[in-house]
């Protein structure tokens, strides 16, 4: 297939990898490191496991970057090549309307394979290899994005997550459990997790606000037992999960539970690119 990939800007982080004379791939292919074989391969060669989600998440930990050279699989000898990641690329995308910070993951090809040169919008950091760096106002089939390999000196995208923990939040009070918080930098909210600390009765709903605007992803703390962890991924349809350095985060509990407390953990990711 013709390559949609373009390296746009920002100096890439380059790592050199062995390449087998028997493996073929194109410029722009997403590449992974096959440790057992001892050389790099295109994503379509990654071993399928159970379903798309499992395979995509397995591949993330072995993603090394994007091919900048072509191999035919008929070379006369093994060689090496440098593979970049951490820079901004343009890739084919399953039709969507991403915004800055929208998480992107590997797409499934027909059959039991991943695509070599195509991404899709995902909502969970566990599925994400990078994120969108351009604001789109209508559906697009290409996306400008930054992609991260876990082999980078900074680690993969998952290593960029930070956490804000609120201890022993009262589930019985219709009140804010957090108000006026600013991140002091540009971030994307990724998830909210509750851990039941003392036994809850009935369920309380937590609503997050960016300033005066409620996010459309709410989190329900259910009366399921002390120590129960519940997690809700955040992907707001109006981009209210994107916070500028001075935007305030507020979390409101509706107080439906008649007893109980929970620790509440906010997962977020600093964004290097916001237009």
> Is pLDDT at 214 greater than 90 in this prediction?
yes
In a shared domain, residues 135 and 196: no
In a shared domain, residues 132 and 210: no
pTM for the full model? 0.87
- 1 in any annotated domain: no
* Domains of the chain: total: 2
For residues 50 and 45, give the distance between their C-alpha atoms in angstroms, rounded to a whole number: 15
* Per-residue tokens: 167: 């201890």
In a shared domain, residues 140 and 30: yes
Q: Are 52 and 124 in contact (CB under 8 A)?
A: no
> How high is the pLDDT of residue 187?
95
Share of the chain above pLDDT 70, in %: 93
Task: Write down which residue in 112, 138, 155 finishes a domain.
Answer: 155
Task: Measure the N-to-C terminal CA separation of the chain; round to a whole number of Å.
Answer: 32
In degrees to the nearest 10, what's the CA dihedral of 251, 256, 260, 266? -20
In a shared domain, residues 70 and 102: yes
In a shared domain, residues 17 and 137: yes
- 49 in any annotated domain: yes
- 56 in any annotated domain: yes
pLDDT band at 15 (very low <50, low <70, confident <90, very high): confident
- 186 in any annotated domain: yes
- 93 in any annotated domain: yes
- 234 in any annotated domain: yes
Pick from 266, 242, 260, 254: nearest CA to 206:
254
Under 8 Å CB-to-CB from 234, ≥6 apart: which residues? 123, 189, 190, 191, 192, 208, 215, 217, 241
pLDDT tens-digit readout, 81-110: 888 888 889 999 999 999 999 999 999 998
In a shared domain, residues 61 and 131: yes
Among the ranges given (7-16, 49-58, 112-121), the one the predictor scored with the smallest mean pLDDT: 7-16
* Per-residue tokens: 209: 């606000």
Q: Are 61 and 232 in contact (CB under 8 A)?
A: no
Domain that holds residue 29: 6-155
Q: What are the helix (H) ranges across 35-130? A: 52-60
In a shared domain, residues 193 and 63: no
- What CATH number corresponds to the domain at position 236? 2.60.120.340
For residues 260 and 80, give the distance between their C-alpha atoms in angstroms, rounded to a whole number: 59
> How high is the pLDDT of residue 1?
41
> How high is the pLDDT of residue 274?
44
Q: Are 73 and 23 in contact (CB under 8 A)?
A: yes
- 275 in any annotated domain: no
In a shared domain, residues 76 and 133: yes
pLDDT band at 2 (very low <50, low <70, confident <90, very high): very low
For residues 243 and 222, give the distance between their C-alpha atoms in angstroms, rounded to a whole number: 28
Task: Write down which residue in 155, 180, 210 finishes a domain.
Answer: 155
In a shared domain, residues 111 and 186: no
> Is pLDDT at 275 greater than 50 in this prediction?
no
pLDDT band at 7 (very low <50, low <70, confident <90, very high): low
In a shared domain, residues 202 and 121: no
Task: Write down which residue in 155, 178, 202 finishes a domain.
Answer: 155
In a shared domain, residues 48 and 178: no
- How far from 41 is each of 54, 133, 149, 150, 261, CA to CA, in Å? 19, 27, 14, 16, 49
Which 8-state DSSP code applies to residue 35?
T
In a shared domain, residues 148 and 18: yes
């Amino acid at each position: 297939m013709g390559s949609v990939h373009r390296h746009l800007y920002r100096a890439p982080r380059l790592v050199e990898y062995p390449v087998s004379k028997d493996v073929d791939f194109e410029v722009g292919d997403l590449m992974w490191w096959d440790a057992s074989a001892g050389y790099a391969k295109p994503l379509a060669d990654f071993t399928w496991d159970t379903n798309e989600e499992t395979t995509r998440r397995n591949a993330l930990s072995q993603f090394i970057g994007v091919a900048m050279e072509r191999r035919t699989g008929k070379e006369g000898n093994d060689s090496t090549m440098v593979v970049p990641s951490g820079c901004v690329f343009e890739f084919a995308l399953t039709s969507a309307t991403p915004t800055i910070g929208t998480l992107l993951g590997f797409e499934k090809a027909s059959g039991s394979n991943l695509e070599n040169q195509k991404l899709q919008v995902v909502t969970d950091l566990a599925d994400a290899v990078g994120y969108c760096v351009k604001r789109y106002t209508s559906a697009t089939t290409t996306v400008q994005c930054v992609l991260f390999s876990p082999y980078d000196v900074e680690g993969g995208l998952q290593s960029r997550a930070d956490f804000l923990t609120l201890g022993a939040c009262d589930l019985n009070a219709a009140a804010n459990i957090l108000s006026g918080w600013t991140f002091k930098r540009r971030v994307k909210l990724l998830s909210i997790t509750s851990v039941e600390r003392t036994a809850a009765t009935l369920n309380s709903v937590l609503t997050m606000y960016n300033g005066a605007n409620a996010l459309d992803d709410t989190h329900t703390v259910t009366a399921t037992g002390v120590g129960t962890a519940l997690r809700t991924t955040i992907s707001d349809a109006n981009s209210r999960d994107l916070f500028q350095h001075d935007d305030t985060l507020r979390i409101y509990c509706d107080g439906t539970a008649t007893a109980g407390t929970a620790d509440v953990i906010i997962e977020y990711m600093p964004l290097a690119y916001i237009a």
